[in-house]
Structure 1
């Protein structure tokens, strides 16, 4: 039990170091070095690195240590293509489920929070609420396979977006898209929900990839 708990702590600490850039993209590290940074033994660190490798954040190379994985515009294009199709399917399924307004309450509160954080120009707060919105949309789609695949890719998307968060205009258009999607779900318009979310994710992909290319962030 203690080992599992230590491994979980190591996962969260390493994720934080990666997302804040303290472990830079493309950098190489020894397992013993990371254990020293975390103040842990090597066993939970080794277990944590295998978890992070499964999430696409690191490459574990036997006898060579670990590399913080770069993420190229081409990688992001592939990831977003998959997410766009799967989340759009989730939107269609959620609309077809004819959820009550109460069952859609979390989506609505996420949109309200995104509006609030945009007014305050709190981009990190907006990103957190946006993540929660997309996670809830996938949950409402009620397809465990879709949920598993989206979860596997979400960290890579979040990582790239955090780097570009302050390079783009305030995402007011994104919030308007979310409100239109909510209305389609509330009224049970499955075709509109699928179409609007597909267009939204496609536009988001185009903006993100253009920023990665423009600023030469191939090692994100």
Structure 2
């Protein structure tokens, strides 16, 4: 097998396994041996092992000798740490976005994501709502016009996909509508070029998400 082919298979294994984790198909606490994973993916163990090392470096799993892999469980402490970094990055992105003039097409793209969220909420289509929600946050990051900020924020957003999948299972309709309203508020502040309001609204929006997931995780223990 050529080096290029090996890299391609490693990336394919990485993408599939990371999606399993972020989508909740491999939930927190999930364990599996390398041969089982190789069989599931229909690949040899070499690209599987290389991909697992990369995923472990991202903090999503732990590789345990002779025991395979272990998807790191959710903890309030870890979730809080990740959320607070993401809050800092996204509030900064909203502030930077509000400093700039944006084309009508750029604003229309953000508006479309909000409209898609409204449509999905009406149909109670959680997967479409989640996709539109991600599109909104992507759009705001790009409005900031800072590629390093985009890259960093997306890394930490990946880290919360596990909890987002959990959150969406318990999120009531009222919370879907509240999130849409908050998105409109963030966009409004950006289009008015109100940097302080844009940053504050982006921060409060994510803090609300953190509070909700905290309530879900800690709920049974109270």
TM-score, structure 2 normalization: 0.89
The 4+ residue runs of structure 1 with deviation greater than 3 A are 19-22, 61-64
Q: How does 1:155-170 map to 2 (within 5 A)?
A: 155-170=158-173
Corresponding residue for 1:76? 79
Deviations 1:10-40 (CA, angstroms, capped at 9, x unpaired)? 1222133324544332233222221122110
Superposed displacement of residue 62, structure 1: 4.8
Corresponding residue for 1:49? 52
Superposed displacement of residue 91, structure 1: 0.1
The total of aligned residue pairs comes to 216
Deviations 1:167-219 (CA, angstroms, capped at 9, x unpaired)? 12121011011111111111211111111111111111111111111146xxx
Q: How does 1:86-125 map to 2 (within 5 A)?
A: 86-125=89-128
8 Å contact from structure 1 (residues 85, 198) kept in 2: yes
**Is 2:219 aligned against 1:210?**
no
Structure 2 segments unaligned to the other structure (5+ residues)? none
State the distance in 2 between where 1:186 and 1:20 align: 33
Q: Please, which of 151, 173, 177 is the counterpart of residue 172 of structure 1?
A: 177
Q: 1:155 and 1:215, CA in 2 relative to 1: closer, same or farther beyond 3 A? A: farther
Between stretches 174-183 and 138-147, larger displacement belongs to 138-147
Deviations 1:127-151 (CA, angstroms, capped at 9, x unpaired)? 1110111122122222333223222
| Bigger fraction of residues in helix | 2
Structure 1 segments unaligned to the other structure (5+ residues)? none
State the distance in 1 between where 2:124 and 2:83 align: 26
TM-score, structure 1 normalization: 0.90
